[in-house]
């Protein structure tokens, strides 16, 4: 029996449960309290930063825009499709979410789209599958999320180009096919398609730039991410019990990578996980990253993506702030150097 697009998406995203938030501390001096900016680089909050709060039921996606304004003092809400999985078919809910954002003076900027089950890390259909039917299902799935993103007021979605075991040329060819279809669909609603350095060949900034140039479409862009792991082109197999392998076999220089991606950027993912006693990110020089951005032609939202809470939940370990404190600590760094 053939599935409708919406039936397919419902089967692709089972509910994610059992996630709880932890606790952490951050000196009050690092909690920047400023009026939302109308400058070149306004700040957004990526919903992924607060994942444990969403999945534990402590935070409703409906209240996310107001939290962005009241708790963090910024004007952009960047969404994640997994927090909206239960509401993707509810037009009334989605319209109200858009209205809530407007009432709060918040812009719903873009949506990360992950076809993945967080509980077991299993992936849904891939845009770069060698199987034509699977690619078709992946395109349909993303088109539905484009509909959702448009309804809530977003102007872009982020997609993944995961192609395990394929060559660079194969991933390029398959990407051009799938992205071409998504860009055609996006052209009907002025919806951009963004590629983040998010594993595999997308973590090779030179490969990604070449893909941008070959497709050469005004609605196609990059989403540079500060994460070191985001620039790992090849990772060793995960050991038993590991959420993901911490051993990178082919690491791309992330400062070089961000600089190369910036000419095509339609958003920025300012990722941080842990902070030292001075409030600086442990694994990323935020000043260096912000200097690169300021020296580029990029103008738009810089999104806070605090990954510490999700890392603690799924990978374990100490030294992570709780979701809200991590967002505020990341915000303080952006404001310090932008």
pLDDT at 246: 81
- Cβ neighbours of residue 266 under 8 Å, at least 6 residues apart? 110, 156, 192, 194, 221, 222, 223, 300
67 within a domain of the structure (yes/no) = yes
292 within a domain of the structure (yes/no) = yes
Task: Note down the domain range covering 75.
Answer: 43-337
Domain count, the chain: 1
Tens digits of residue pLDDT in 243-280: 667 899 999 999 999 999 999 999 999 999 999 999 99
21 within a domain of the structure (yes/no) = no
7 within a domain of the structure (yes/no) = no
Mean pLDDT of the chain: 89
CATH number of the structural domain spanning residue 61: 3.20.20.150
23 within a domain of the structure (yes/no) = no
pLDDT at 6: 45
Q: Where residue 67 falls among pLDDT bands split at 50, 70, 90? A: very high
316 within a domain of the structure (yes/no) = yes
Task: State percent of the chain over pLDDT 70.
Answer: 88
157 within a domain of the structure (yes/no) = yes
33 within a domain of the structure (yes/no) = no
**pTM, entire model:** 0.87
pLDDT at 39: 86
């Amino acid at each position: 029996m053939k599935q409708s697009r919406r039936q397919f998406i419902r089967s692709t995203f089972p509910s994610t449960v059992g996630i709880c938030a932890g606790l952490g501390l951050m000196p009050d001096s690092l909690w920047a309290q400023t009026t939302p900016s109308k400058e070149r680089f306004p700040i957004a909050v990526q919903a992924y930063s607060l994942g444990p709060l969403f999945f534990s039921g402590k935070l409703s996606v409906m209240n996310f825009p107001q939290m962005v304004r009241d708790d963090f003092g910024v004007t952009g809400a960047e969404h994640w499709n997994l927090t909206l999985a239960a509401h993707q078919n509810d037009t009334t809910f989605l319209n109200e979410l858009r209205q809530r954002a407007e009432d709060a003076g918040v812009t719903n900027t873009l949506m990360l789209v992950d076809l993945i089950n967080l509980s077991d890390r299993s992936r849904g259909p891939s845009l770069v599958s060698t199987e034509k039917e699977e690619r078709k299902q992946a395109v349909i799935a993303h088109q539905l999320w484009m509909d959702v993103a448009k309804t809530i007021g977003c102007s872009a979605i982020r997609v993944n180009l995961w192609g395990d075991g394929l060559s660079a040329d194969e991933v390029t060819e398959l990407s051009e096919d799938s992205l071409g279809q998504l860009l055609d669909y996006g052209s009907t609603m002025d919806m951009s398609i963004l590629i983040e350095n998010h594993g595999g060949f997308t973590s090779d900034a030179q490969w990604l730039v070449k893909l941008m140039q070959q497709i050469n479409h005004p609605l196609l862009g990059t989403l540079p991410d500060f994460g070191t792991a985001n620039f790992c082109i090849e990772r060793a197999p995960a050991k038993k019990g590991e959420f993901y392998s911490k051993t990178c076999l082919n690491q791309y220089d992330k400062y070089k990578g961000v600089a190369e991606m910036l000419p095509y950027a339609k958003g920025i993912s300012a990722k941080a996980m842990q902070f030292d006693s001075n409030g600086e990110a442990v694994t990323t020089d935020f000043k260096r990253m912000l200097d690169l951005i300021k020296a580029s032609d990029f103008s738009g939202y810089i999104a806070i993506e605090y990954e510490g809470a999700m890392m603690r939940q799924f990978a374990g370990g100490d030294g992570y702030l709780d979701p809200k404190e991590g967002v505020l600590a990341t915000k303080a760094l952006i404001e310090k150097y932008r």
